[in-house]
Structure 1
Amino acid sequence: MDSAEITLEAVPSAGDVPVEDWDACANPVPDPNSLSALDTLAAASSCAPSKAYYNPFISHAFFSAAEQSGSAIARTGWGARHLIAKIDDRIVGIVPCYLKSHSQGEYVFDRGWADAYERAGGRYYPKLQCSVPFTPATGPRLLIRGDADREQIGSALASGLVALCGVSKTSSVHVTFAREAEYKLLAEHGFLQRTDQQFHWHNQDFATFDDFLGTLNSRHRKGIKRERREAVASGISIHWLTGKDITEDAWDAFFAFYMETGSRKWGRPYLTRKFFSLIGENMSRDVLLVMAKRNGRWIAGAINFIGSDTLFGRNWGAIEHHPFLHFEVCYYQAIDFAIQHKLQVVEAGAQGEHKLARGYLPHTTYSAHYIADPGLRRAIADYLKRERAYVAEAGRELSELGPFRKVADEAP
């Protein structure tokens, strides 16, 4: 096939793309019946020779929930412009993309670029944002059907994003939390390269949480044990809910936590109550709610999404505040779940150097940015060169400060 056979179009909602076509591009698997995250976990636990990659955030169900719930719509500054690649009317590639009127809910911060450009007389918004709304989780952004020519379709999608920028009269295109290979491909098409860091936990084939603790130095090992004890000292019990165990009552409780904490943190939380019901209807087997109960009522919780090899931590909230409960619900319970289900990574969300002491190490994240204005592009390119060097050095320094025992350290 040559590139002339590929046609590109932008559609205004995930609902305009058939579910089976979207998911065949987002999470191509040998067996279409194995898309469920927990089914994939079961296969991994049974010593299957290989398992399909699955990322819940790029599934059709997640984007549909964000859009149908009114969370990611034009009125909230997220107008869908999903880029679709076809060959002979067959969808072979997708880039989830939104026309943005602000820079909120993205976690790769470009507000300084917008302010500088607008002070110089330019118009930064609208821009195109290729990402999962409100979700700083890493994963594919150029979604390509498993039986398609990845190099050919990837190049067509990259070129298509540049063309979409021009057609939609936007200032820029931003592809965030992408895979490194996509970051490099997009650079070949004129996108600027940006790095940042998150803190991820990595499983070393641990059988128990105590096995993980045994890899830490004495100070951090004792600190985590103390935090776990104190987190539940007020008669608090911790519960894992997934699948059919997540009732509407549980969603009501979690949404109350989300609104309480989100209102204090962001001013206006992004996700509507309907979003969680839609997730419950269509993705409950991909969801882990870690909930804390005291005196017979839910008081705090964290929502996680389950991938084939990664547990993605997302939102947390509480209506009662207890020392270290946040660390227990968000970090230590996630590690426990990953160990029990043989997941390799826990992504605990954006930023947070406090995660380092709890066994989460620096991990480089990648984004790519096409800037239409040549002057702005030159200024940002110079800034990003310095920023990449800073991120790399900070990552090295933080890794050296990690909580793990050195070879000459004491025994656990």
Structure 2
Amino acid sequence: MQIRFTSSILSLEPAAWNALCPADYPFIRHEFLAALELSGCTTGQSGWQPYHLLVEAAGQLIAVMPGYIKHHSYGEYVFDWAWADAYRRHGLDYYPKWICAIPFSPCYGPRLLMAQGVAMADILPQISAALGRESLAQGWSGWHCLFPDKTLSDCLHQQGALQRLGCQFHWENRGYRDFADFAASMNSRKRKNILKERRQVSEQGFTFVVKTGRQLEPEDWQTFYALYRTTYLKRSGHKGYLSADFFQLLGATMGDQLVMICAVKADDPAQAIIAASLFVRDSQCLYGRYWGCFEEYQFLHFETCYYQGIDYAIAQQLARFDGGAQGEHKIPRGFAPRFTYSNHWVAEPGFRAAIAQFLQQEAAGITQYAAEAATLLPFKQAD
């Protein structure tokens, strides 16, 4: 068995990479990661230098971990800025570091892809050891795995990579027939608030168009990128992590797993898009990813990003709706707290011990936070 690294996913055949992908989870597929690279979103210049880990046996690819050499912590959604600052204050460099992650996508899921018949227990010790050696050879402060499934996270923890607990808010489909059925599961006050919000969006004259697959034309992606860029500029002063080319490439290669929900004015003959939300989906889950608007309207964000997503998930009989990282505003809208995980191996022994102590204290706080958040869910007491 040989473990090596490659500086571009384009050096690998898409079929060979995708053959290792479990089910239809979208973010790990060659098409998604290649679109990021081809569009210039993941390069050394952007601080996301591709450096994927490959495991081969008898000349065949048997396992991969998507990886990047990072020169900052932007776009990760597992926040370690304080760790980097502590390194700096002690005269040490926290960057570069290596992360196994899906850039700009805090969606938990598979991070170690394996061929059929390959057991995690047989290769993970060698992978962990190789990452440790590479960290020392390359001068990385350490390596990290962000948003893995719990099984992989637990196994990495057993190999010495500290485990960090996080919390997101996800919607779960309890066999709802439609949105009214979902709303009926809530207590009266919360149900009235949600229906009021939806009614006010309708009264402002909005209707919604859902586009998927071949319905998504190049001009739709041009419009969506303009929405995305405009919203990022208003919110943070920069144009966002993703480029217009990324959205066009994604539409060309993964259109069947993309859902764009567009808000238009019902009385507008041109049906000009005022706001839109882009979702990615697989057979089980809807992932809310990106949003943008040209004009601000009351409750339009909630409707376009959440209520329309719930409508779609129910209609498609999807089990779960992952609305993205953070967001306590999701709780009264029926999104329940769910734990997420990350793993961290740092080369410096003193910092390793300090981070381990911090993570233990943080986990206690996260656990309490999730328990308290669950008490604020809008569902009837019997639920």
Alignment TM class, shorter chain as reference: over 0.9
CA distance in 2, matches of 1:141, 1:62: 14
Alpha-carbon offset, residue 163 of structure 1: 2.6
Please list, as runs of the form range in 1=range in 2, the aligned pairs for 1:224-243 lying within 5 A after superposition: 224-243=194-213
CA distance in 1, matches of 2:55, 2:226: 40
C-alpha deviations, 1:208-229, integer Å up to 9, x for none?
1111111111111111111111
Alpha-carbon offset, residue 145 of structure 1: 1.7
Report the counterpart of residue 137 of structure 1 in structure 2: 107
Please list, as runs of the form range in 1=range in 2, the aligned pairs for 1:8-407 lying within 5 A after superposition: 8-27=3-22, 53-268=23-238, 269-294=240-265, 295=268, 296-407=271-382
C-alpha deviations, 1:306-351, integer Å up to 9, x for none?
1121101011110011111111111111111111111101000010
Q: Which runs of 5+ in 2 are unaligned?
A: none
Q: Is the 8 A contact 1:142 1:157 kept in 2?
A: no
Alpha-carbon offset, residue 186 of structure 1: 0.7
Q: Is the 8 A contact 1:93 1:157 kept in 2?
A: no
Q: Which amino acid aligns with 1:127?
A: K
CA distance in 1, matches of 2:157, 2:249: 36
C-alpha deviations, 1:266-318, integer Å up to 9, x for none?
33210010000100110000100111112321010111101121101011110
Please give the root-mean-square deviation of Cα atoms over the aligned residues, in Å: 1.2
Alpha-carbon offset, residue 164 of structure 1: 2.4
CA distance in 2, matches of 1:106, 1:194: 14
SS of alignment partner, residue 36 of structure 2: helix
SS of alignment partner, residue 377 of structure 2: coil
C-alpha deviations, 1:222-269, integer Å up to 9, x for none?
111111111232221111111011111111111111001112333321
My pick for the range that moved more, 386-395 or 294-303, is: 294-303
My pick for the range that moved more, 156-165 or 183-192, is: 156-165
Q: Given the superposition, is the C-alpha separation of residues 324 and 92 from structure 1 closer, same or farther in structure 2, using an over 3 Å criterion?
A: same
C-alpha deviations, 1:179-228, integer Å up to 9, x for none?
11111111111111101111000001112111111111111111111111
Alpha-carbon offset, residue 84 of structure 1: 0.2
Alpha-carbon offset, residue 66 of structure 1: 0.4
CA distance in 2, matches of 1:12, 1:308: 31
Q: Which amino acid aligns with 1:15?
A: L
Q: Is the 8 A contact 1:24 1:146 kept in 2?
A: no
Alpha-carbon offset, residue 118 of structure 1: 0.7
The alignment of Structure 1 onto Structure 2 pairs a total of residues equal to 378
Report the counterpart of residue 38 of structure 1 in structure 2: none
Identity value in percent:
38
SS of alignment partner, residue 330 of structure 2: helix
SS of alignment partner, residue 406 of structure 1: coil
CA distance in 2, matches of 1:146, 1:131: 22
CA distance in 2, matches of 1:146, 1:394: 39
CA distance in 2, matches of 1:22, 1:95: 10
CA distance in 2, matches of 1:302, 1:163: 42
CA distance in 1, matches of 2:12, 2:139: 24
CA distance in 2, matches of 1:94, 1:325: 41
